[in-house]
Amino acid sequence: MANSQVSSFTESIFSKMSRLSLEHEAINLSQGFPNFRGPDFLTKLACDQITDPQMDKNQYAPSRGIPKLRHTLKQRYESDYNLTLNPDTEIVITNGATEGIFCAIMSLCNPGDEVIVLEPFYDSYIASIKMAHAIAIPVTLEGPDFSPDVAKIKKAITPRTRAIIVNSPHNPTGRILTDKEQRELAQVVIDHDLILICDEVYEHLTFDQKKHRPMMAINELRDRTITISSAGKTFGLTGWKIGWVIASAPLSHAIHMVHQFTTFSVATPLQWAVASALENPASYIKSFQTHYQGLRDLFCKGLEELNLPFLKPEGSYFCLMPTPSSFKSDEAFCEKLVKEIKVSAIPCSAFYLTKPVDSYVRFCFAKDEATLKQALVRLAKIGK
Ligand SMILES: Cc1ncc(COP(=O)(O)O)c(C=O)c1O
C-alpha cells in the first residue's frame, strides 16, 4: 500500500499543459522555462569542467556542496544584500530550489504540524508539506494586487503552526513584496515564534529598477528564516538544477541531514560552472534583466494592442490574464486556448487549495521574440 499522502498526487499541471501543447501543436507558454539557449560562456564553462584533465570534477561533490560555490554565494549575499553567512555551516547546495523546499519542510515539520502557504502558490510546497505528513493552511492573496493580508495570516496561526512560506518575486502573479509588507510579515513571524521559508528563485528577475531584498536581511529574522534560491532562473538553465538553501547553523544542519539522505550531493561540474559565473555576475545580470524586461514589454504591449486585459508583472517571467466572463472557469479557458487558439497557459486555480475568488490564467513570457509575436497573433483570436 502506497504512502497515503503520495497516492493522492496526480500529474502536475505543468507536465499536463506541456503534454497538451505537444498534442495540439500549441505554442507552449504554460511551463516556466526559456525556449532559448542559456549564456554560452556558462555552458562552455560546464563543458570545460567535465573535460578538465587536472582534477576529476565528475565524482561526488561534498554533500553540502563544493566549497568554492558556497564561498562564492557567501560573497554574493554579502555584497548584494549585506548578509554575512558562514559558508561551512549555513549553506547547503541542493538539486534546484525544489529539493531545497522539500528538505526545509522535512527538516522542520513533524506529522500534524501546520505550515501557512499564501495562495496562489508554487505547487511543490503542498506536495512537500504532505510528504512530511504536515498540514498546509492556505491564506488567500486577493487580486488584482495580491498583497498579503496580515490580519488573515494572524487568524490562520494556531499552536501547531511551524512556518510560513513566502515567495517574492512571486510566481504566478509577478508581484514583489514591498518593504512595508515585509516588515508586517516579519512582525507576525517574530510575535508567533515561527520560521519563515522564503522562496527567492526569481531574485534577479525584477523590472523597472525594482530591487529584490531577502527577508533574511531584516535583522530580527536572520536566524528564523530559510532562504531558498536557484541558478536555474538567473542563468536561464532550468535543467541544471543547482539550488541552495541558506539558514542559521542549527536549521542548516537539519536541512543538510535531509539532503544527505535524499540526493546526497548535486552535479559536481555544474556546481563549478555556477560558482565561476557567480563570482562577478553584475554585467551578466544587468543584460539578463534588460533582455527579460524587453520580453515582458513585448508581450504586455501586444496584449494591450489586442485589448486583452492582463496584470503587468514587477518580476518573474509570468503574466496573468483574467478569465473572460464567457468561460465557466480558468480551466475551460485554458482548454480553449490550447485546443483552438493553439497557445497553452496554466489555469491559476491549480495554485490554490481553496476555491479561488479570482480567476486568472498564467502565461510564461520567457520565450524568444518570434515565439511571443506568433503567440500574440494567435491570441488575437480570443473572443472571436
Ligand atoms: C516559485 C518557484 N519556486 C521554485 C521553483 C523551482 O526551482 P528549481 O527549478 O530550481 O527547482 C520554481 C520553478 O518554476 C518556482 O517558480
* Ordered per-residue pLDDT tens for the chain, 384 residues: 677 778 778 788 888 888 999 999 999 999 899 999 999 999 999 999 999 887 789 999 999 999 999 999 999 999 999 999 999 999 999 999 999 999 999 999 999 999 999 999 999 999 999 999 999 999 999 999 999 999 999 999 999 999 999 999 999 999 999 999 999 999 999 999 999 999 999 999 999 999 999 999 999 999 999 999 999 999 999 999 999 999 999 999 999 999 999 999 999 999 999 999 999 999 999 999 999 999 999 999 999 999 999 999 999 999 999 999 999 999 999 999 999 999 999 999 999 999 888 899 999 999 999 999 999 999 999 977
Tell me how far apart the alpha carbons of residues 287 and 134 are, in angstroms, rounded to a whole number: 42
Q: Is 325 helix (H, G, I), strand (E, B) or coil?
A: coil
Burial of 320 (0-12, 13-18, 19+ CB in 10 A): buried
Tell me, what's the pLDDT at 368?
A: 97
Tell me how far apart the alpha carbons of residues 376 and 319 are, in angstroms, rounded to a whole number: 13
Atom of ligand 1 nearest to the CA of 167: 1
Please report the sign of the dihedral spanned by the C-alpha atoms of residue 325, residue 330, residue 332, residue 336: positive
Protein residue whose Cα sits closest to atom 15 of ligand 1: 122
pTM confidence score: 0.97
Tell me how far apart the alpha carbons of residues 57 and 71 are, in angstroms, rounded to a whole number: 18
Burial of 138 (0-12, 13-18, 19+ CB in 10 A): middle
Q: Is 377 helix (H, G, I), strand (E, B) or coil?
A: helix
Q: Is 295 helix (H, G, I), strand (E, B) or coil?
A: helix
Question: Residues with Cβ within 6 A of ligand 1?
Answer: 32, 96-98, 122, 167, 171, 199, 201, 230, 232, 238, 241, 243
Tell me, what's the pLDDT at 11?
A: 80
Tell me, what's the pLDDT at 166?
A: 98
Closest C-alpha to 39, from 291, 209, 279: 291
Helix ranges (H only) for the chain are 13-23, 40-51, 67-81, 96-108, 124-131, 150-156, 179-191, 231-234, 249-260, 268-279, 282-305, 330-336, 369-379
How far apart, in Å, do the first and last CA atoms of the chain sit?
Answer: 50
Tell me, what's the pLDDT at 255?
A: 98
Q: Kindly give the interhelix angle for 124-131 and 96-108, rounded to the nearest 10 degrees.
A: 40
* Amino acid present at 300: C
User: And the C-alpha cell for 104?
Assistant: 526545509
How far does the centroid of ligand 1 lie from the alpha carbon of residue 84, in Å? 25
**535524499: which residue's cell?**
262
Protein residue whose Cα sits closest to atom 14 of ligand 1: 32
What pairs with residue 135 in β-bridges?
Answer: 114
